[in-house]
Amino acid sequence: MTVMTPSDLLGEARALIARPDAATAGIWPRTSALLARQAMEQTVRTFWEALPDTAGLAFAAMRSQLICLPFCLDVATADQVAYTWAALSRACHYHPYELAPIATELTGWIDDVESLVTEIATGIRGTGS
Amino acid sequence: MDDVLLGIVLQRLDEEPLPNEASNLLLAALDSDDALTAQLSAGASERRIAPAESSQLSAVPVGAYLRSLTVSGFRGIGPSATLEVAPGPGLTLVLGRNGSGKSSFAEALEVLLTGSLMRWARPAPAVVRDGWRSKHSEANAEIQAEFLIERTGKATVSRSWLAGASLEGSTAWLQRHGEKREAIGDLGWADELKQYRPFLSHAELEAFFSRPSELYDLLASVLGLEDLTTASSRLNAARKQREDALAAIKERLERLRARLGELDDERARACLAALTGKNWDIPAAISAATGVNFADDGRLDVLRRLTQLSVPTIADVSSTVACLRNAATRLEDVPGTEAGQALALANLLDAAMQHHHVHGDGDCPVCGRPGALTEQWRAETQEHVARLRNEAAAADAAMTASRLAVDHAMALVQQPPAILDESSTAGLDLEHARETWMEWANRRPSSADLATIVGLRTFADHLEMALPSLADAVKNLSEEAAHEIARREGKWAPIAADVASWCADAEPVLEASKLVASIKKARAWLVSATGDIRNARLAPLADQARATWAMLRQESNVDLGAFRLAGTSTQRKLELDVSIDGAPGAALGVMSQGEINALALSVFLPRATMAQSPFRFLVIDDPVQAMDPAKVDGLARALRQFAANRQVIVFTHDNRLAAAVRDLNIKATVMEVTRRPRSVVQVRQRLDPVEQALRDASALKSDPAVPAGVAMRVIPGLCRTAVEVALADGVWRRQLSAGRTRTEIEAELAEVRRFASLAALAMFGDANQDSRVLSRLNGLGRVFADTFQALNRGAHQPYTGDLRQLISETSRLITKLREIMQ
């Protein structure tokens, strides 16, 4: 199986939302959120791997990565990544008393991830103070 | 009034001019009640009152932050419990289960400042109102808060109740640093508490959209347009007063007209004619009522003249009758003689005697009888002439007397007066009087007969006989007329008085009501101007509300468009353009309760955080209920945004907000309120931004996958962040207590770039004393100075020491710094 790029993952996530398929009924919201979150995580990992000093962080817990992010990326973008990741994480999990996210919510997050992916990929690097 | 507002109004007046009268009234109304009254009585067009200056909308008021809140014996809190919050901008979450006493803190602050709870202001069951006192505190109840106020410093506000006192029976005081105790009102927050209301409870959120007019007031009150709405009410009151007075006058007139209509009286008819239609002729009504200058067109005049009818008196008639009869007798006494004939004969005899005197005795010159003229003849003739002349004089006198007597009598028997020909004299029988009079005038001898003795006697007899019936007839008629007048006056007099008093009342009312059109014009102009200005001022608030909604709604398909304050008086409401999935015109009814709450918060938060509000704190009680999880995330972000320059304190029983704040890495202080038996309430700090940073540092240290090089850079950075946050808190507390303003403090903090300068600002209140920082810390313990230096260096180069030790020493340093910054 070939490695999926963040944009492949996001494309899959969108397709899932768009598919009026009985086979995916009920599970699509969380599956879609999972794919979008993977796209986010993969982008951050790619970001770490771009520099030898931080390459190892790609294997650290996501929390660690998110903690370090503001030190290497501009703070607003880092905050946005943390927020979107947290929101998607919630959507991934089955909370017994919470309802699955609705399509428009998911689409919004996928849009957010997409713009963050672009932003990070085009290499907006913080000073790493 | 507010100069800015006045400027806007004057400019608009230039663009959309009003007639002079209306614009004068408008400006007077904007000025004051007295000015409007003066302008109204000046006839409105005369002078132009320049509105006096008054309070100006101050751009940035003195801001207040909450430092601590201590409550005892109130609601769910028994023995004294204190909630301390970091003064200065930031987010504080106070968590607690339902019944833990957390809401008691929120409510206590509102009761402390306003003396009541807004949600109690609506009709509240007695059980709620009476339940304000803690069940577990028989003693006094007290709420005390410490505020840090810009330019003032520390201010303590207290409200307490003796055992048994009612909610309203509290004693409140204010204690400013270094001042005497004052009344709580001296804080000057009375209006602002209503306008910017820094409290919001879940109950209020739920009720937010239930009353469109309240929502309108809520927003309208913050826009600073009271001067305009007050002026508008003044004009409206002036209009109403005038219209009411006119209506009252008209109603009185209707009753008066009904009474006038029942009267058969030309004065009543004249009044009715004058007071019918749109334009009353009040002067005509007055003269008809009072009889002054009243053009009497008939009946009453006839009646009055009838009462004044006169007939010859008995004395006059008697003397005339005597003269007539005397004349007749004298004429009888000169029988056969015609006075003229006797006179002519006397003259002839005189001429003959003259002839005799000249020619002597001789024949008669007339008949020729010889020797007729003798001395004897002359003597006899002389006697004859004298006798003839006497006869002639007597006849002459008798004739003259009879003529005079007839003239007198003729003067008495004039034709009946014209008044007796009046046919319009209702109810009175003139015919008898007229006929009697005609008889009196006409049943007399003809002119020819009057020269005779019989004629004179007949005339005298007629006068004597006819007078009594004429006198009777005329007297009766006069009396009837007089009676009729009296009868009419009896009905008329009271109505005439009412007409006169109505006229007196109506004139000023009519005069005043001439201004109504101008008042209406002025008010219509003002209402339209106010609407425009209001919505222009509302625009930034609306933008902020939309921005907040964008955060809160998350991916809700409800779009918040423009909103307007529309309508006036009872029709006033907030109009929201809400669209769902792009379809406009949606009603609030299609929104879920969670969405409505979020929308309410979107409107409330910008309002409560307007620049003009003196409250730099904002207390929200349980905003999360009924919210979707995604909206809770959105709320957390919105709160973060408002907390950037406000002290936002959120009470919630719902862990989701705390979880969102944690997950989203939002800097916040999280407190927890717990309630033990007997209402013992405890407040613990669970997390604050300082601890958050230290926890992140520990988490990073514990993750073996984090490369050492990264940890060496990031962990000291996190530790330094923790210290910086603690120092910044200290700066806020210290500088606010010293009476500095938020702008000054923010500017100072923004200017401080060096770690040591920040520490100096926090420790000594002066960023320039950075060189003293290390020695001070050294004095407290060498390890503090070392840690401080390590953190200072760590920002610039990788840290080479033990990271775990650095984290724990940072924690100790922060504890120490907090101690000395208290």
Instruction: Read off the CATH number of the domain in which B640 is found.
Output: 3.40.50.300
In this structure, the answer to whether residues B405 and B475 fall within a common structural domain is: yes
DSSP E strand stretches across B312-357: none
Q: Is A75 within 8 Å of chain B by CB?
A: no
Residues B699, A64: C-beta atoms closer than 8 Å: yes
| B194 & B332 share domain | no
Give the residue from B559, B632, B665 with the most A CB atoms within 10 Å of its CB, the best one to mutate. Answer: B665
* Numbered residues of chain B with Cβ closer than 8 Å to any chain A Cβ: 554-557, 628-630, 633, 637, 660, 663-665, 696, 699-700, 703, 705-707, 709-710, 713-714, 717-718, 795
B704-759: pLDDT as tens digits: 999 888 898 899 999 999 999 999 989 998 988 888 888 889 888 988 888 999 99
Based on the domain organization, do B357 and B283 belong to the same domain?
no
Tell me how close the Cα of A29 comes to any Cα of chain B, in angstroms. Answer: 14
Of A83, A84, A107, which to mutate for an interface test with B (greatest number of B Cβ within 10 Å)?
A83
Closest-CA residue of chain A to B626: A98
Return d(Cα B84, Cα B669) in angstroms, integer. Answer: 11
For β-strands B153-161 and B680-687, DSSP reports them as unpaired
Give A15→chain B minimum CA distance, Å. 18
Q: Are residues B631 and B738 in the same domain?
A: no
Strands lying side by side in the sheet with B558-566: B558-566, B573-580, B583-586
In a shared domain, residues B277 and B337: no
Q: Are residues B746 and B779 in the same domain?
A: yes
Contact between B61 and B614 under an 8 Å Cβ cutoff? The reply is yes
Q: Between chains, do B629 and A63 touch, taking CB under 8 Å as contact?
A: no
| Chain A interface disruption, residue of B552, B555, B641, B694, most A CBs within 10 A | B555
Task: Tell me which amino acid residue B310 is.
Answer: S
Flag whether A107 is in a domain.
Answer: yes
Chain A 5-64, residues with CB within 8 Å of chain B CB atoms: 53-57, 59-61, 63-64
How many secondary structure helices (H) and strands (E) does chain A include?
5, 0
Give yes or no: residues B73 and B144 share one domain: yes
How far is B703 from chain A, CA to nearest CA, in Å?
7
List the domain range (segments joined by +) for residue B295: 250-307+494-511
Q: Judge: A64–B705 Cβ closer than 8 Å, yes or no.
A: yes
Q: Do A57 and B696 count as a contact with CB atoms less than 8 A apart?
A: no
User: Chain A: nearest CA to B90, how far in angstroms?
Assistant: 17
CA A61 – CA A75 distance, rounded (Å): 20
B647 and B782: one domain? no
Residues B338 and B473 in one domain: yes
List, in order, residues 6 or more apart from B115 with CB less than 8 Å away. Answer: B159, B168, B170, B172
Tens of pLDDT, residue by residue over A22-78, are 555 667 778 888 999 999 999 999 999 988 888 889 999 999 999 999 888 888 888
A83 domain residue, yes or no = yes
Instruction: Say how far apart CA B42 and CA B36 lie, in whole Å.
Output: 10
User: Do residues B300 and B267 make contact, with C-beta atoms less than 8 angstroms apart?
Assistant: yes
Q: Is residue A1 domain-resident?
A: no
Q: Residue A126's pLDDT is what?
A: 42
Long-range own/partner contacts, residues B459-463 (CB < 8 A, 24 or more apart): B459/B324, B459/B406, B459/B409, B460/B320, B460/B321, B460/B322, B460/B324, B460/B325, B460/B328, B460/B409, B463/B317, B463/B320, B463/B321, B463/B324, B463/B409, B463/B412, B463/B413
Helix (H) or strand (E) holding B328: helix B314-333
Task: Return residues 97-116 of A near B (CB < 8 Å).
Answer: 98-99, 101-102, 104-109
Chain B nearest C-alpha distance from A68 (Å): 6
- Per-residue model confidence (pLDDT) at position B56: 40
CB contact under 8 A, A99 and B557: no
Task: Identify whether B240 is part of a domain.
Answer: no
Q: Does residue B338 sit in the same domain as residue B406?
A: yes
| ipTM surpasses cut 0.85 | no
Residue for token digits 């607003």?
A76
Sign of the alpha-carbon torsion through B178, B179, B185, B191 = negative
* Terminal-to-terminal C-alpha distance of chain A: 39
B318, B462: one domain: yes
Q: Is B153 within the bounds of a domain? A: yes
| Residues 6+ positions from B438 with CB-CB distance below 8 Å | B415, B416
Tell me, yes or no, whether B469 and B321 share the same domain.
yes
Q: Show the low-confidence residues of chain B (pLDDT under 70).
A: 1-3, 43-61, 119-130, 136-138, 209-212, 222, 292-298, 335-340, 423-427, 554-557, 568-569, 582-590, 626, 628-630, 795
Contact A68 B706 (CB under 8 A): yes
Q: Is residue B319 part of a domain?
A: yes
What is the percent of chain B where pLDDT is above 90? 17
How many structural domains comprise chain B? 4
B598–chain A nearest CA distance, Å: 16
Q: Are B766 and B773 in contact (CB under 8 A)?
A: no
Residues 6 or more apart in contact with residue B128 via CB below 8 angstroms: B120
Q: Which of B630, B665, B699 sits opposite A82 (nearest CB)?
A: B665
Tell me the three-class secondary structure of B482-518, residue by residue: HHHHHHHHHHHHHHHHHHHHHHHHHHHHHHHHCCHHH
**Tally of domains within chain A:** 1
DSSP state at residue B653: S
Q: Assign A129 a pLDDT band (cuts: 50, 70, 90).
A: very low
Give 3-state DSSP helix, strand, coil % of chain A, rounded to 5.
70, 0, 30
CA-based nearest residue in chain A for residue B693: A67
- Structure-token pair, residue B525: 């102009």
Residue B226 in any domain: the answer is no
Q: Does residue A60 lie in a domain region?
A: yes
Q: CA of A66, closest CA in chain B: separation in Å?
A: 9
* C-beta atoms of B665 and A83 within 8 A: yes
Quote the pLDDT of residue B57.
Answer: 41
- Is residue B588 one of the residues assigned to a domain? no
Angle between helices B299-307 and B453-513 (to 10 degrees): 140
In a domain, B739, yes or no: yes
Which range marks the domain in which residue A65 is found? Answer: 6-126
The chain A residue lying nearest B698, using CA atoms, is A64
* Residue in A55, A86, A104 nearest the CB of B555: A104
